[in-house]
């Protein structure tokens, strides 16, 4: 099966990510990197960092990538098992490119590869050239019995932990009892060290030696974690997905906090003057009235990064972005009230946004739930129709785009009010007079169709998303 780029990096079955393919992708990425206008100094250094998550296939893929890196004349710096944002941070700090092996939250029999320049993750415009270079390199394969590439081990944990402890202070979470769900997260060593460095009492639980594909947006599958907070009388429970770039936050009542709620509070605490987020995040962002400039983009961190670069050119000074999953990006340096600088990290990070929520509650002498309650009541519930052929997705999208307002009105006007706005930036997103929003989009190259519904309550959004699912599967495919 052909391997292609998804919303962030390439992904596929571990059996499809062959050693030869990974070898070629490493070479293709570094050749593409070498021709970047900003790459002159870094290309002269000739170093590339590799890191990975805890999947069973990750060591093999890292070894193949290392051989490809070495074949391009670069020294391989091996950071081992670390979260993705820690790799990105180290690339920026050292001024060198990097490659992360991770499948994030997808099943254990799959994996993926993410590529980083010394200034941040690659963008959508970089994907086609890398794929073309990999195609050109088709004849390049690892020789039988080829010796493994030399790798120089490097330590990145200390500087990544210090990034947050220095910014927030060693007493920022003093007196807070925080439960950390370890599972098989690549952040399970670093993240608790950050919390402890800020004065929190950390209770670790749920460590697994087998890989668990934790999806931080799968509310039902994670609901049982709520009792881990309430039974211990903890301030909150924190965790991440497999590669540590999406936050999981559960409040003192055992309620899971949605990623976009975390992102909005985090942006407020940083006093952002520009916030970028995909269409799938709730309109609580705009309704809060806290931000001078709000930008919407397509789903996927490369689109968030690209829009943040645009607003930077337009003169914004405190630039952030986040995804609906809570992954948080900073497009400019942030200065704390005490004058400490937090350098820009334009890739998804899970540590910063969750810390900002906890510290906000601590400062107010409030609970996490009380801080979240400051947001306007807007809730997004999503659903996924699997085994939905790509051709069928295209046909549904074409039908919607050819007469979206009339089509939505005919079906939903009596129950939701008239269709008041259509946004076709990423699929079709329809807003209704009654305040509800329905967003439909194909899932990239996968045979899946995604549904997002936003309403004034989570219960209403949950009911409506099921009705919309039946509509898509019935009338729209007829």
CA distance 196 to 209: 23
Given the residues 104, 280, 301, 431, the one annotated as active site:
104
- Residue 276: which H helix or E strand, with range? strand 274-278
Phi, psi of 28, deg, nearest 5: -60, -45
* Bridge partners of residue 116, in order along the sequence: 98, 121
Residue listed under structure tokens 């976009």: 260
Q: How far is CA 51 from CA 115, 240, 361, 423, 477, in A?
A: 11, 17, 34, 38, 43
Q: Would you list the DSSP string of 17-68?
A: S-HHHHHHHHHHHHHHHHTSGGGHHHHHH-EEEEEE-S-TTHHHHHHHHHHH
Minimal CA–CA distance to 327: which of 263, 371, 250?
Answer: 263
SS3 state at 364: helix
Asked if residue 165 lies in contact with residue 141, where contact means CB atoms within 8 angstroms, the answer is no
For residue 341, indicate whether it is catalytic. Answer: no
Q: How far is CA 437 from CA 110, 129, 351, in A?
A: 33, 37, 30
SS3 state at 280: coil
SS3 state at 312: helix
Edge-first strand listing for the sheet containing 274-278: 293-297, 274-278, 319-322, 328-330, 345-349
Catalytic residue list: 104
């Amino acid at each position: 099966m052909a391997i292609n780029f998804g919303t962030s990096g390439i992904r596929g079955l571990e059996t499809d990510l062959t050693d030869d393919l990974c070898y070629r992708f490493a070479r293709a990425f570094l050749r593409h990197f070498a021709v970047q206008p900003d790459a002159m100094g870094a290309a002269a250094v000739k170093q590339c960092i590799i890191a990975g998550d805890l999947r069973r296939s990750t060591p093999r893929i890292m070894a193949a990538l290392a051989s490809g890196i070495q074949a391009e004349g670069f020294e391989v710096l091996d950071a081992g098992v670390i979260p993705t944002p820690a790799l990105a941070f180290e690339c920026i700090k050292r001024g060198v490119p990097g490659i992360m092996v991770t499948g994030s939250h997808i099943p254990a029999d799959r994996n993926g590869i993410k590529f980083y320049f010394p200034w941040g993750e690659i963008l959508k415009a970089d994907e086609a050239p890398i794929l073309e270079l990999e195609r050109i390199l088709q004849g390049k394969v690892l020789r039988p019995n080829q010796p493994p590439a030399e790798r120089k081990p490097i330590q990145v944990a200390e500087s990544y932990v210090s990034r947050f402890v220095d910014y927030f202070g060693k007493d920022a979470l003093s007196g807070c009892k925080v439960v950390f769900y370890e599972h098989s997260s690549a952040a399970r060593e670093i993240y608790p060290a950050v919390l402890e460095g800020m004065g929190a009492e950390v209770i670790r639980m749920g460590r697994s030696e087998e890989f668990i594909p934790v999806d931080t947006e799968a509310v039902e599958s994670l609901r049982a974690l709520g009792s881990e907070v309430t039974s211990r009388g903890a301030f909150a429970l924190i965790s991440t997905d497999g590669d540590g770039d999406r936050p999981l936050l559960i409040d003192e009542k055992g309620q899971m906090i949605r990623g976009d709620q975390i992102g909005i509070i985090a942006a407020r605490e940083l006093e952002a003057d520009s916030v970028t987020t995909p269409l799938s995040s709730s309109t609580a962002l705009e309704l809060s009235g806290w931000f001078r400039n709000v930008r919407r983009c397509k789903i996927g961190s490369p689109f968030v990064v690209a829009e943040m670069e645009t607003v930077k050119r337009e003169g914004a000074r405190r630039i952030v972005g986040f995804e609906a999953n809570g992954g948080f990006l900073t497009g400019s340096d942030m200065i704390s009230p005490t004058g400490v600088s937090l350098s820009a990290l334009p890739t998804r990070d899970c540590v910063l946004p969750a810390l900002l929520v906890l510290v906000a509650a601590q400062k107010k002498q409030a609970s996490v739930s009380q801080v979240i309650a400051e947001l306007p009541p807007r809730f997004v519930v999503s659903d996924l129709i699997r085994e939905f052929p790509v051709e069928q997705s295209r046909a549904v999208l074409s039908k919607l785009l050819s007469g979206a307002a009339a089509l939505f009105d005919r079906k939903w006007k009596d129950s939701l009010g008239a269709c008041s706005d259509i946004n076709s930036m990423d699929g079709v997103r329809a807003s209704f007079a009654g305040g509800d929003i329905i967003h439909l989009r194909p899932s990239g190259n996968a045979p899946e169709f995604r549904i997002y519904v936003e309403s004034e309550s989570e219960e209403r959004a949950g009911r409506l998303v099921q009705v919309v699912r039946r509509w898509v599967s019935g009338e729209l495919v007829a």
